[in-house]
Structure 1
Amino acid sequence: MSIIMIVLERINKIFDHGKTPITAVDDVSLRVEKGQIYGIIGYSGAGKSTLIRLLNGLEKPTTGSVTINGQQISAAKGEALRRARLKISMVFQHFNLLWSRTVSENIAFSMQIAGAPKAQIAARVAELIALVGLTGRERAYPSQLSGGQKQRVGIARALANSPDVLLCDEATSALDPQTTDQILELLLDINRRFGLTIVLITHEMHVVRKICDRVAVMENGKVVEEGEVIRVFTHPQQAITRQFVRQVSQYADDEDFDPELTRDLQGSVIKLTFTGHSTHRPVVGELTLRYGLPFNILHGKMTQTANGAFGQLWVHVSASQEQLANILADLQRSDIDGEVIAHG
């Protein structure tokens, strides 16, 4: 049975600066399971940065409640809020390191603030430096580090007090693509090794595809779509979600398929959508043998997520209406979505 780590219940956040109030978060309810990597994606102004500040108590909701690991953060004050924040750590887009402190001193800082003994701090710092791959750079200053190394320090610092939840606010946006993938692999390793719950705020669908289990799509303060990453990729419901999906070069929607390919064809074009184990089945070969019909592959693509592969295939076949209905039924029984998109 899964344990729910984060619960957002009917959250609204209204900023009343000037004559016109601004609704930054509009009636958002979410649940994040313990050990999940949960992505929240949206463009600038969507409300995702305000949402993450609500998660760590830096902002209080106008209405609604935020509960993390059984504690209502939205109602906590003073010492109770300070203790709660020790278990909710943050990784920032621009690193937010102390430039006058070394790598080791940056990592140690939050433990010093928490009053941990010196021996415990030294042991934990050494452990984290090895974990994030910075052995040998302990005495370096931030100005001597690359962007990826700075973010590794930021991650190590965030892990120092053994948090329950790690919040990442555009943690890879300032990095090049190769370094981004390295940081995402590090976060995925940390998640799998320690079962740490991670919430990622991003505007990049590549980040979501690479490591997230579930994703919420935000627009104008609202969550307009939410679900498992594979399901959102293969069946995006909202225009903004389809726009995000098109960001990922390995995968896009029907716009990748050229209708001109069907102009002179007699018969039907079927779009097959595969997820999980079905990506490994010789489906076209099976259909050819079963129905004695030639299936012509027109176009195809496949990509990988943290929880399995998915892809799409466009095939042409000249079949009777009865055969076509049976083919679609066979596909459904094999957990493959089949849709007739053109008739020649």
Structure 2
Amino acid sequence: MIVLRNISKIFNHGSAPITAVDDVNLSIEQGQIYGIIGYSGAGKSTLIRLLNGLEKPTSGSVLVNGQDISAARGEALRQARLKISMVFQHFNLLWSRTVSENIAFSMQIAGTPKAQIKARVAELVDLVGLTGRENAYPAQLSGGQKQRVGIARALANSPDVLLCDEATSALDPQTTDQILDLLLDINRKFKLTIVLITHEMHVVRKICDRVAVMENGRVVEEGEVLNVFTHPQQPITRQFVRQVSQYAEEEAFNPDLAAGLDGNIIKLTFVGLSTHQPVVGELTLRYGLPFNILHGKMTQTAHGVFGQLWLHVVATPEQLTSIVNDLQLHDIDTEVVKYA
């Protein structure tokens, strides 16, 4: 659906060139919700502008549905952009137009017949939950309602790709969740490919299928959201994971909890069905040992539950080896973080 091949973007401002995007390769499948996360200056906003042709890459190619957007010009680019819509952080609504008129605007530019525009606007108003607010102006709307208008407007021409550039960062947490639920519903109903640019891991956790982590213009980590949450490889990824789950070892497990304890500390990572297994009870019965739970938490993602548990047990080396093997046979990742 979307393929980025060796994409780089260099801005030549002032005396020194600035590399905003540095040799990025990504593949996004049809119907995926794909997150691109990074802090300010990571290059993610430049990357999303490369996806719809607002910026041209210095090198590399951007393919959307087989078309090279990076090479498109004139009418070909205009037609391509009709199928690649964007939702903005600060809504970018026309303040002198009503909700209905804002939604209709892009269809008017595209030359859609009036009767078709009217029917499509009514359909979209209902889809985004703004029935009864059709004649309101943006100044009369809440932040969440404004973003619903922005989403409806972006969907007006039935795009294949929806780009969301920090679409929830100006909203409060409750409204953010409502907008994310709306995007997830739209994705499931229309199989629409959604690319989310964000600096909030909560957004990625809640609705994304895959995520790419950017730092200094490069993608430093990429994968399925559940895997990235349970096994973050890069320091910056672990920082993002801590935003919502506090699962990095130094925060999820406080060593002071084990101060003065003899024995072993075992970290268990559960994914999917393994989160429902009575692990501690089974270990106690099997080995006749008291297992002390030091810390634990479970988190929901769009593709399942994962959790981590820190256990303390006094066991012989032979018992410890057997315990670890038993847990791994139950598809539970196990790590001994402190030996007796």
Give the TM-score normalised by structure 2.
0.97
Could you tell me which amino acid in structure 2 is paired with residue 179 of structure 1?
Answer: T
CA distance in 1, matches of 2:62, 2:322: 49
Which residue is equivalent to 1:32? Answer: 28
Q: Within 5 A, what are the aligned runs for 1:1-344? A: 5-248=1-244, 250-254=245-249, 255-344=251-340
Question: Contact conserved, 1:251 with 1:301, CA < 8 A, in 2?
Answer: no
Residue 261 of structure 1, CA deviation: 2.4
SS in 2 for 1:247: helix
Could you tell me which amino acid in structure 1 is paired with residue 211 of structure 2?
Answer: V
CA distance in 2, matches of 1:285, 1:213: 33
SS in 1 for 2:243: coil
| Runs of 5+ unmatched residues, structure 1 | none
* CA displacement, residues 54-73 of structure 1 (integer Å, 9 cap, x when unaligned): 00011111110100111111
* CA displacement, residues 165-202 of structure 1 (integer Å, 9 cap, x when unaligned): 10000001111111111111101111111111100001
Count of paired positions: 339
Greater Cα offset, 153-162 or 222-231? 222-231
SS in 1 for 2:118: helix
CA distance in 2, matches of 1:182, 1:309: 20
CA distance in 1, matches of 2:257, 2:168: 39
Residue 260 of structure 1, CA deviation: 2.2
Residue 290 of structure 1, CA deviation: 2.5
SS in 1 for 2:7: strand
Could you tell me which amino acid in structure 1 is paired with residue 188 of structure 2?
Answer: R
CA distance in 2, matches of 1:246, 1:320: 33
SS in 1 for 2:112: coil
* CA displacement, residues 111-132 of structure 1 (integer Å, 9 cap, x when unaligned): 1111111111111110000000
Could you tell me which amino acid in structure 1 is paired with residue 273 of structure 2?
Answer: H
Greater Cα offset, 334-343 or 129-138? 334-343
CA distance in 2, matches of 1:253, 1:60: 38
Residue 265 of structure 1, CA deviation: 2.3
CA distance in 1, matches of 2:282, 2:157: 54
Could you tell me which amino acid in structure 1 is paired with residue 28 of structure 2?
Answer: V
SS in 1 for 2:70: helix
CA distance in 2, matches of 1:196, 1:284: 42
Residue 144 of structure 1, CA deviation: 0.7
CA distance in 2, matches of 1:113, 1:260: 63
CA distance in 2, matches of 1:333, 1:175: 44
